[in-house]
């Protein structure tokens, strides 16, 4: 049984067509992806902090200075590597950094300019301000935003890679 967009309550501009099922990014997902790009600005610092915490854990001072055998692992580098690989927060931050870098590498010059204004500027620019600075109307800048966030969604595995970017930029191709 085929489902039509009108039966699902969706309009053409809300749809992304990919190898069969319809995919879209909801407002909540778009907001979450937008926040991930914001978090990306400090991710290298957060990774460095987490690595330092893992490599130099706080240990209470030992008053027993004379006796007993050491229970420390004889290969400290392996222990550090194992702690880093098993730390979920560190792995999340590394994954976020890598996914954002791959998405940014796929940006064209215009998208990179928008990204720099929105996320890398020392001033906080909302999407409408970024659109005004570049000369886009409200609907145009939000289409550009959708296309940029779609690339990140692809890298994060939230949507399929199959031809979604072209359709995110021009939703009329879905009809």
What are the tens digits of pLDDT across the range 130-142? 999 999 999 999 9
Q: Is the separation of the CB atoms in 33 and 152 below 8 Å?
A: yes
Which single residue is written with the structure tokens 């560190």? Answer: 90
pLDDT at 57: 82
What are the tens digits of pLDDT across the range 23-66? 789 999 999 999 999 999 999 999 999 999 988 888 776 666 66
Backbone angles phi, psi at 34, to 5 degrees: -60, -40
Kindly report which listed range (11-20, 25-34, 72-81, 150-159) carries the lowest average pLDDT score.
Answer: 11-20
pLDDT at 72: 58
74 pLDDT above the threshold of 80: no
Taking the complete model, does pTM exceed 0.75, yes or no? no
168 pLDDT band, cuts 50/70/90, is low
Q: Is the separation of the CB atoms in 149 and 33 below 8 Å?
A: yes
102 pLDDT band, cuts 50/70/90, is very high
Q: What is the DSSP string of 10-51?
A: --GGG-EE-SSSEE---HHHHHHHHHHHHHHTTHHHHHHHHH
In the chain, the percentage of residues whose pLDDT exceeds 70 is 71
Strand partners, 16: 23
Between 12 and 155, name the one with better pLDDT.
Answer: 155
Q: Is the separation of the CB atoms in 150 and 25 below 8 Å?
A: yes
Picking from 165, 141, 98, 125, the residue whose alpha carbon sits closest to that of residue 116 is: 125
Most confident residue range from 3-17, 55-69, 103-117:
103-117
In the chain, the percentage of residues whose pLDDT exceeds 90 is 57
124 pLDDT above the threshold of 50: yes
């Amino acid at each position: 049984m085929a489902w039509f967009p009108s039966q699902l309550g969706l309009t053409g501009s809300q749809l992304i067509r990919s190898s069969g099922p319809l995919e879209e990014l909801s407002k909540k997902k778009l907001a979450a992806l937008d926040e991930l790009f914001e978090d990306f600005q400090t991710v290298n610092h957060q990774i460095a902090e987490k690595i330092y915490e893992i490599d130099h854990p706080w240990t209470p001072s030992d008053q027993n200075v004379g006796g007993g055998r050491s229970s420390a692992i004889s290969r400290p580098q392996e222990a550090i590597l194992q702690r880093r690989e098993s730390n979920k927060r560190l792995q999340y931050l590394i994954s976020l950094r890598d996914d954002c870098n791959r998405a940014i590498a796929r940006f064209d010059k215009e998208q990179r300019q928008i990204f720099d204004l929105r996320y890398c500027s020392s001033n906080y620019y909302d999407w409408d301000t970024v659109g005004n600075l570049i000369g886009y109307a409200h609907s145009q800048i939000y289409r550009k935003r959708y296309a940029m966030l779609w690339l990140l969604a692809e890298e994060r595995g939230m949507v399929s890679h199959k031809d979604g970017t072209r359709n995110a930029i021009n939703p009329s191709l879905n009809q």
